Structure 1
Amino acid sequence: MEITSISRYKGSTFEVELDGERKLYLHIDIIADNGLKKGSQLDKTELRKIIYDSNFRRAYQYALYCLDYRDYSERDMLRKLIGTYKNEDLCRAVVGKLAGAGVIDDARYAEKLARRLVEGRRYGFRRAKKELLLKGIGEDTAAEALEQYGDTFGDNLAELLRTKHYRLLTDSSDRKNIEKVKSALVRYGYGFDEINAAVREYFEDAEQAEE
Structure 2
Amino acid sequence: MTVTKLEPVTKTKYKVFLDEEFAFVLYKGELSRYGIREGEQIDDEVRRRVMDEVVLKRAKLRAMHLLEDMDRTEAGLLEKLRQGLYPEEAIEAALKYVKTFGYIDDYRYAKRFIESRQQTKSRREIYAQLLSKGVSSGQIDLAFEECSGPDSERDAILQIFRKKRVDPAHATEEELHKIYGYLSRKGFRYDDIRQVIQNYNENA
- Alignment-derived partner of residue 111 in structure 1: 111
The answer (yes or no) to whether the contact 1:73–1:136 under 8 Å persists in 2 is: yes
C-alpha deviation, 1:129, in angstroms: 1.0
| In structure 1, C-alpha distance between the alignment counterparts of 2:30 and 2:126, rounded to whole Å | 51
The answer (yes or no) to whether the contact 1:126–1:190 under 8 Å persists in 2 is: yes
Q: How many residues align?
A: 167
C-alpha deviation, 1:83, in angstroms: 0.7
- Alignment-derived partner of residue 14 in structure 2: none
The answer (yes or no) to whether the contact 1:60–1:94 under 8 Å persists in 2 is: yes
- Alignment-derived partner of residue 23 in structure 1: 33
| In structure 1, C-alpha distance between the alignment counterparts of 2:86 and 2:123, rounded to whole Å | 36
The answer (yes or no) to whether the contact 2:153–2:192 under 8 Å persists in 1 is: no
Q: Percent identity?
A: 25
Once the two structures are superposed, what CA deviation does each residue of 1:85-135 show, in whole Å capped at 9, x if it has no partner? 24234213321322233121111111111111114xx11111111111122
- Alignment-derived partner of residue 197 in structure 2: 199
- Alignment-derived partner of residue 81 in structure 2: 81
How large is the RMSD of aligned CA atoms in angstroms? Answer: 2.7
Q: Which residue of the other structure, out of 118, 121, 124, is the alignment partner of 1:123?
A: 121
Query: RCO higher in 1 or 2 (8 Å CA, sep ≥ 6)?
Result: 2
What is the SS of the residue equivalent to 2:33?
Answer: strand
The answer (yes or no) to whether the contact 1:169–1:177 under 8 Å persists in 2 is: no
- Alignment-derived partner of residue 141 in structure 1: 139
Once the two structures are superposed, what CA deviation does each residue of 1:135-180 show, in whole Å capped at 9, x if it has no partner? 2211111122222213322222233334525245414xx3211111
What is the SS of the residue equivalent to 1:154?
Answer: helix
Paired letter, 1:74: E
Note if 1:50 corresponds to 2:60: no
- Alignment-derived partner of residue 156 in structure 1: 156
- Alignment-derived partner of residue 174 in structure 2: 176
| In structure 1, C-alpha distance between the alignment counterparts of 2:88 and 2:197, rounded to whole Å | 50
Paired letter, 1:61: L
Specify the structure having the higher radius of gyration (Cα). 1
* Gap change, CA 1:196 and 1:168, over 3 Å in 2: closer
C-alpha deviation, 1:196, in angstroms: 2.1
What is the SS of the residue equivalent to 2:170?
Answer: coil
Unaligned runs of 5+ in 1: 1-14, 26-42
The answer (yes or no) to whether the contact 1:125–1:189 under 8 Å persists in 2 is: yes
| In structure 2, C-alpha distance between the alignment counterparts of 1:104 and 1:196, rounded to whole Å | 40
| In structure 1, C-alpha distance between the alignment counterparts of 2:64 and 2:159, rounded to whole Å | 39
Paired letter, 1:187: R
- Runs of 4+ in structure 1 deviating by more than 3 angstroms, as ranges, are none
| In structure 2, C-alpha distance between the alignment counterparts of 1:110 and 1:163, rounded to whole Å | 25
| In structure 2, C-alpha distance between the alignment counterparts of 1:105 and 1:75, rounded to whole Å | 11
